[in-house]
A = this chain, B = another copy of it.
Amino acid sequence: MAAEACGNPILAVGSVAFDSIKNPFGEANRVVGGSVTYFSLAASFFTDVRLVAVVGEDFADRGAAVFAGRRVDLAGLQTVPGETFRWKGEYGFDLNQRETIYTKLNVFEQFQPVIPESYRSSPFVFLGNIHPRLQLEVLDQVTAPRLVAADTMNYWIEGTPDELREVLKRVDILIINDSEARELSREANLVKAARVLKTMGPSTVVIKRGEHGVLMTASGDGEFSAAPALPLEEVFDPTGAGDTFAGGFVGYLAGCGDTSDASLARAIIYGSTLASFAVEDFSIDRLLRLTKGEIADRFRHFKRLTHFDEA
């Protein structure tokens, strides 16, 4: 990867959490999770990440431990009195279905994203899946970013639609999953859904379809890019796969500094590549021991998977 040579920093805001995960293969208790954690670990293979989030005093020096030696700046990680956001989820044998056992917002409930001065001119911004009001507050604190990517979820689509609409007007790339795309656009068909979502603001819509891959609008009228997911024999823990995808996707774009259609098409493969690793082990464990060589190998694997010559 030629990523290290250039590299535009990404300002990334989202949740840092303690996760507890149970599935048929085992259990992980109170491990580090959260959307911006997965995002940052993935993106930091390509460029510098400037993390903004909040944790409680119980988080202690876990952040330093997780991100040690990585291109992740923790100046924006606030520590406040109280407990860190906690989430517990349980998966059955169908790992596409998960049940949330509890969500305890804790310190996240009062989270006010404060963007450090040194972060404000970040050329790339990623708004993780948090309250749209907070996403707007982040945008109000940055100066003319070159590219803003955002995620959201059904909770905000249903609960705070007006604020979400305001966010979308200021977003270049929307990265959401298929059910969210359908709900937000009120279109069952994903092609129509993507077209509706583009009218809300984003110039590019990336729809994550889990084990069925990714669909992305391209700039040409009616043109799309599509990538299958890697056919995996064992999916161990899908927690964080979507955030990891976003990290690989935005990380690649920021690292190479090129947002052409050709670059976007590679970005969905880098996103898919990172996500395919994330699901191989519990929590962030596989990302922590991932190497650049493995990423390059798997990128080439994706090429063999999808390549065909013209006749």
Contacts and interface: CB of A to CB of B under 8 A. Distances in A.
Contacts of A225: 305-306, 308
B213 A224 contact: no
Interface string A19-47: 00000000000000000000000000000
B306 A262 contact: no
Contact of A308 (B228, B256, B269): B269
A262 B309 CA distance: 7
A227 interface: yes
Nearest to A232: B191
A188 interface: yes
A227 B262 contact: no
Contacts of A234: 189
Contacts of A192: 233
A186 interface: no
B308 A266 contact: yes
Contact of A310 (B215, B268, B299, B309): B299
Contact of A307 (B190, B213, B265): B265
A233 B303 contact: no
B310 A233 contact: no
Contacts of A231: 190-191, 215, 224, 226
B266 A309 contact: yes
A311 interface: yes
Contact of A228 (B218, B228, B304, B311): B228
Contacts of A311: 1-2, 256, 266, 299
A308 B232 contact: no
A226 B306 contact: yes
A256 B306 CA distance: 21
A53 B268 CA distance: 46
A306 B304 contact: no
Contacts of A233: 189, 191-192
Contact of A93 (B93, B188, B212, B268): B188
Nearest to A310: B303
Given A189-B232, A226-B305, 11 more contacts: A1-B311, A93-B188, A191-B231, A192-B233, A215-B231, A223-B305, A226-B228, A226-B231, A227-B228, A303-B308, A306-B308
29 contacts: A2-B311, A192-B233, A209-B212, A212-B213, A215-B228, A218-B304, A223-B304, A223-B305, A224-B231, A225-B305, A225-B306, A225-B308, A226-B228, A226-B305, A227-B308, A256-B311, A262-B308, A262-B309, A265-B307, A265-B308, A265-B309, A266-B308, A269-B308, A299-B310, A300-B310, A303-B308, A303-B310, A306-B306, A306-B308
